[in-house]
Structures are given as C-alpha cells and as structure tokens.
Chains A and B, each alone.
Chain A
Amino acid sequence: MLNLIWFIPLLPLAGAILNLILGRKLGDPRSGWVATIATGTSFLVTVLVYFEMLGLEAEERSHVEVLFSWLPVGSLQVDFALLADPLSIVMALFITGISTLIHLYAIGYMHGDAKFSKFFLYLNLFVFSMLMLVMGENLLVTFLGWEGVGACSYFLISFWHTRNSAAVAGKKAFVTNRIGDFGVMTAMFLAFSAVGSLSYGAINEAAHAGELASVTATAIAMLLFVGACGKSAQLPLYLWLPDAMEGPTPVSALIHAATMVTSGVFLMTRMNPVLHISYDWAPTVIAVVGAATALYAATVAVAQNDIKKVLAYSTVSQLGFMFLAIGSGAYVAAIFHMITHAFFKALLFLGSGSVIHGMHHEQDMRRMGALRKVMPVTGFTFIIGWLAIAGVPPFAGFWSKDEILLYVYANNRGLYVVGLVTALLTAYYMTRQVIMVFYGKARWNDNSAEHGAHGEITPHESPRVMLIPLIVLSVLSILGGAMQLPFSKDLHFLEHWLAPVVEESEAYIGKSWAYQNKYLLLLVAIVVAVSGILISISVYAKSKFKVIEPKILEQAWKYDHAVSRVVGGPGAATFNLIAWIDANIVDGIVNGVGELIRSVAGSVRRVQSGFVRTYALLISFGAVAILAWFLLRGVLL
C-alpha cells in the first residue's frame, strides 16, 4: 500500500482533468460529484496508508516513493519523489477529509452558478497542489505545490471576477504571496549550496549531524519563515487574507481557513531540525511575530460587521497562535491546533456560508439576528464551532489552545500574557458574532427599502448536501481534542504519532514550572474563555455596557490604508520612475546606439557606388598610399 501513495495526489488531479475535459458536459451537479468522489477516494487511500503505517514500527514509518528523476543536472539531483511519514500522512488525512466535506458542501452552495464545473476543477486542482506540498520529499516538489495552491487561490478568490473587488482581491493575494515565495526560493538556493541537496531527509540529517552551520541554518529558517508569513498570513504579509473573502464561501473554508494557510506552519514543522540548530533569536522572532499577529488580528475581529471578515481575522489570529507554538518549540501543539482549527474553522466558514446562502447573499451581521429559529441545524453546528474556537472544554479548540499556552508559558511569560489576552478576545468576538447572527431581534428587513427590487428577505435553511458536512465537522470539533489530551502521557496520541518527525517536544519543558502546574494553566484558560464569553454576552445580548467598536479597529488599525498609501503613493511613484528610466534611459541608450550606427552607415554607404571603375580608382589610391608609405618611411623617420 505504501508504494501506492502517489494515488493520493493523483486522484484529485484526475478529477481536475476529467472536469477540464468533460466538465461542461457533466454540468451541475454531476461535475461536482466527480470532484467530490475524486477527493473522497483520495481520502480513503490516505486512510488505508495510515492504517498500514500504524502497523509498522515507529522508525519504519517513513516511505519515499520516487516517481522519476526530475532535475538531473550535475550536482543538482532532484527526484520527483513523494514522502509518506507521520507528518505528511496526518496532513494528507485532514486535507483530503475536510476537502471532501467542503466539496460536498460546495455542490449545494454553488448550485446554479454559471461556472459550476470550473469551480470544481479549481477545487480539485487545489487539493492536488496541497497534497504535493505536504507529501513532497524535497523542497522543490513542495514548492511546486506551494505555487500551485497560490495559483489556485488566485483563481478561486477572483472566481467571480466580473466583480471588481474580487478581481482586485485575487491580484492582491497573488502579489503578496509572491513576496513570501521569494523567501522560500532563496531558502531553497541556500539549502542547496550548503547541503548539496534539496531533500528534507538530507537537509534535516545535515542539521542533526551538525554539518550545517548555525548561521546558515538561521538564514534558511528565517527565509522559510518569510515564505510562511506570506502563505500563512502573518504580519506584515497577512493583508491578502481578509480580502480573500471575496471568493465563494467554500473557498474561504477550504483554502483560507483549513488547508492552504497552514502550509507555512507545516513547512516550519517539516524543517524543525534546521530551526532547532539556528540561533536562539530565530524561534523568538517567530514566536513574537505569531503573538503580535494573533493579538492584532483578534483586536480587529472585534469590530468587523461582515460575517466572513470576522472569521477571516480570526483565522489570521489563530494562525498567529500556531506560529507562537512553532516559535516556542511546540511543533506538536502547532500541528494539533492546525488540525482542530481546520475542523472548527471549516465548520464556522461553512456555517457562515449556509447563513449567507439562506440570507440571499447578505453578509452584513447587522442585518441578521434570530436566525437560530429559521436555520436550526446551521445555528446548532455554528454554536459548536463557536464553543470550540472560544476554548470551552471539552471542545477541540480548548485542548489545542491550552497545549500551546502551556509551552509558551514555559518559554516566555510575556508572550503567554499576549496569548491569554488573545484567547479572551477570541471568545469575546466569536460570542459577539453568534449573538449578532443567531440571537436577538430579527433585523433582516430593517433596511428592506434599500433592497428595492429584492423586496423582503425570507431566510431559509440550506439543503441537506450542505448540512451533512456541517454535522460531520461539528462532531469532529467536539471530539478532535481526543487526539492529544494532557492528562496522561498515554493520551498524547498525536505526539507519539509525530515522534519520528518532531523530536524536540515535551521532554525539554518537562521540568519547568509550567509543566508541573499544567492543570492550573488549564484552569486559567477556562476562566479566560468563559469570562470572554460572559463579557460579550453582557455587552451584546444584555446590553449592560455600551458597545465599544472603535472605527480604527474596523479599519484594521489603518494598516491596509497605510500600505495602500505607501504602495499607491511613493511606491507607485518609484515604480513609475523606474518605468520611465527603463523607457527613456535604458531604451534610449540601446536605441541611440542603433540610431548612431544607422546614420553612420547611411553616410558611409554612398562609397558603395556600384561603379567598378570607382572601386578600381580607390584601390589604386590605396596602392599609391601604401607605396608612398614604404618609400617615405625611410625619409621621414
């Protein structure tokens, strides 16, 4: 079974190709089913591989499948190889699993869209790219997937490209991601020049064996982190993610919550031996950036009124948490949170999509309220997602967030406080969202005059094909924490599973104060989450306090503004200047040389009269001149 791992990425690719050729003919909804079945089969193969691997000894759980030699150029030997090891399989499991659910959901959500089959073509292509990213055996195969998800993200964000904002958002995502890609490419070049190979095995081996200098390792780790910042939407490159909400909601759920944005976290975990031997400040930088992003995005999410924007900033914030974990050496906790986050954030996004669908594409939470009664299933599952992300036990998000906070406390208490504040804000803004959407007064038709032709809105529950994924994901959001429970070493299933890939884990904080008092920290986390929820309820449901939603938070601290100002003002001026220099000076020199030669040639060409006798005359002049030179040389010199 292990030598069939290439089936895992191949199946979604086959689905994409099938939809490319036959998509129009298959139409709505059959092309959606093709895509769903392709991804679902891929999930089944992954499950089989997982069980086969479970039967092996821990050290043997790594299988490299070389498909062909990709770049045999001198000392650069890159194989097109896939790697099945605990990390890649755990990633593949939740990618294919959640993708299947989202594909299924999208059949309902995209029903009636003119480009129905194209949507599923892109979705399958995305799943393929993501699987290449996590299953690649070397940096180049991963980079192929890395660029693939970037491209698919661009296609899908601007899927409704006739809307200007969607087209702009797609471009923004693409350009911002390119900045990150620059970091990954440079890291790749550096790794090759230092180690002589791009294979993860070789690079990590070199890091273990001490063949990689600390300074090189630091450079590689930091450059990869730049790439991770782009893909995983960290400060200062997070900008594209909130705008990416222009895409259809299944895309937001799949790409911008559950899978693509986690690729940065994955890459850092994959290269953890390199990060481990780099200078001490490198992980600290990652932790600080993560914490800053988490706090920043959480504050912004507090004041958003678009149902998807709240979730988008919340995603940025949770990704910050994951990087906080990476920077604290808690790779298992980062992966754990990545998985639980994938469950509940996919659930929340799909739930919000269900709301948007039921509300006839109304996304403003100020026009919702009391939807719990008209959309019972959506409401119920959304509430489960809310409890999971807010960190209420025993839901999945609680366990993973607590695990991260434990490690952060052991490493840096200042960042722990930031983490706690973020957790408080998370509980607060998610409660705010749930209250605004599902509780309170129904405000659907408050502004019905504005709707004009649309008339009254009558929200309705979504079709069953959209509700099944919600139910499955809500079950996962409840039970997901069971992967890694803190009570006993025997309950650290995920950690044991990832042990061959991630060596530096709990052992090194085992003696710290935090670890010995982990139940106290658990209690603190519960108190923080519950108080966040209670504050929010007293503000939004009971109206005991005035609502505080400063304008500056709604505008994301004007960061986007500032960047647009800089890029649009001096930035555009600089680029215009460069364009002017290129058009006038660089081209001027080139064209000037050409013009000069042309004019010189124009005057010289008259010599070529075509008259033989003129040539003869010139030759005889020449002969006389040479003769004169020989004769007079003796006299003159």
Chain B
Amino acid sequence: MISLTLVPTATWYLVLAAVLFSIGTFGVLVRRNPLVMFMCIELMLNAVNLTFVALARELNDINGQTIVFFVMVVAAAEVVVGLGIIVSIMRNRSALTADDLAELKG
C-alpha cells in the first residue's frame, strides 16, 4: 500500500518563493504600467518574506520572522509614498507608462 502523503518541506516553500520572485522580476521588467510594476515589486518583497519565514522555521531561528515584520512595515510605508507619487503623476498626465517618465536621462 503506497500511502501518498505529501509532507510539505522547506524546499517547497523556497521553490514557491523563487517562482513568485521570478514572476515579480519578470513583471517589473516587461510591464510598462507603473501600477502593475508596483504590484510586481510587492510580489518580489513578499517572495522574500516567504523565504524568511520558511528558513526561520527550518532553522528554528526567530530572527527570520522578526525581519519579516520589518519588511512589511517598510513595504507599507513604501506603498504610501510610491502610490502617492504615481497618483499625482497620473493626475497630470493621461495614458502614462513608465517609459514616458524619462526626464532624467543623461
């Protein structure tokens, strides 16, 4: 009798985190809509969070979970600032893509 018990190990979570991180990176690189890029960055951040939590549990080290809180707090603040900037830019210009904001080119 083969019992098919799937016991999730840390590796699963790490793989998942890697996949999420890659999707986020890919999204940032290919999408031009600032909002979507922003969401992709959040995705990357949370992939990292997942890594932290998985490893904290695996290594039995509370520090990993503590850092996650820091990341979440910083991410929340970042969302406020980032969204604020994006909204104020959107108000002035319609149909905006990230490539339109190239005023700082050398």
CA–CA, A608 to B102, complex, Å?
Answer: 9
In the complex with contacts A616-B28, A616-B29, A620-B29, A605-B106 CB distance below 8 A: yes
Assess the B29–A608 pair: CB atoms within 8 A.
Answer: no
Q: Which residues on B sit within 8 Å (CB–CB) of A613?
A: 28-30, 32, 37, 98-99
A75 at the A/B interface (Cβ < 8 Å)? no
Assess the A611–B25 pair: CB atoms within 8 A.
Answer: no
B85 at the A/B interface (Cβ < 8 Å)? no
B59 at the A/B interface (Cβ < 8 Å)? no
> How many residues in A have their beta carbons less than 8 Å from beta carbons of B?
12
> How many residues in B have their beta carbons less than 8 Å from beta carbons of A?
14
A609 at the A/B interface (Cβ < 8 Å)? yes
Interfacial residues of chain B within 19-72, with CB under 8 A of chain A in the complex = 25, 28-30, 32, 37
Q: Which residue of A lies closest to B103 (CB)?
A: A610
Q: Which residue of B lies closest to A604 (CB)?
A: B106
> Closest CB-CB distance, A515 to chain B, in whole Å?
90
Q: Which residues on B sit within 8 Å (CB–CB) of A635?
A: none
Q: Which residues on A sit within 8 Å (CB–CB) of B99?
A: 611-613
In the complex with contacts A613-B98, A613-B99, A608-B28 CB distance below 8 A: no
CA–CA, A194 to B9, complex, Å?
Answer: 87
Q: Which residues on B sit within 8 Å (CB–CB) of A590?
A: none
Q: Which residue of A lies closest to B105 (CB)?
A: A610
In the complex with contacts A616-B28, A620-B25, A606-B106 CB distance below 8 A: yes
Q: Which residues on A sit within 8 Å (CB–CB) of B2?
A: none
Interfacial residues of chain A within 587-625, with CB under 8 A of chain B in the complex = 605-613, 616-617, 620
Q: Which residues on A sit within 8 Å (CB–CB) of B101?
A: 610, 612
Q: Which residue of A lies closest to B30 (CB)?
A: A613
Assess the A611–B28 pair: CB atoms within 8 A.
Answer: no
CA–CA, A562 to B35, complex, Å?
Answer: 87
Q: Which of B28, B32, B106 has the most CB of A within 10 A?
A: B106
Assess the A611–B106 pair: CB atoms within 8 A.
Answer: no
CA–CA, A617 to B98, complex, Å?
Answer: 14
Q: Which residues on B sit within 8 Å (CB–CB) of A607?
A: 106
Q: Which residues on B sit within 8 Å (CB–CB) of A612?
A: 37, 98-99, 101
**Chain B proximity mask over A451-486: 1 for CB below 8 Å, otherwise 0:** 000000000000000000000000000000000000
CA–CA, A607 to B106, complex, Å?
Answer: 8
In the complex with contacts A605-B106, A606-B106, A611-B29 CB distance below 8 A: no
Assess the A611–B103 pair: CB atoms within 8 A.
Answer: no
Q: Which residues on B sit within 8 Å (CB–CB) of A606?
A: 106
Assess the A610–B102 pair: CB atoms within 8 A.
Answer: yes
CA–CA, A625 to B90, complex, Å?
Answer: 35
CA–CA, A606 to B106, complex, Å?
Answer: 6
Interfacial residues of chain A within 82-139, with CB under 8 A of chain B in the complex = none
> Closest CB-CB distance, A626 to chain B, in whole Å?
15
**Which positions in A face B, CB cutoff 8 Å?**
605-613, 616-617, 620
10 interchain residue pairs of minimum CB distance? A610-B105, A608-B106, A610-B102, A605-B106, A612-B98, A610-B104, A616-B28, A609-B105, A611-B99, A611-B102
Other 11 A-B pairs with CB < 8 A, given A611-B98, A613-B98, A620-B29: A606-B106, A608-B105, A608-B106, A610-B101, A610-B103, A612-B98, A613-B29, A613-B30, A613-B32, A617-B29, A620-B25
Q: Name 14 interchain pairs, CB-CB below 8 A, sorted by A.
A: A606-B106, A607-B106, A608-B106, A610-B101, A610-B102, A610-B104, A610-B105, A610-B106, A612-B99, A613-B29, A613-B37, A613-B98, A616-B29, A620-B25
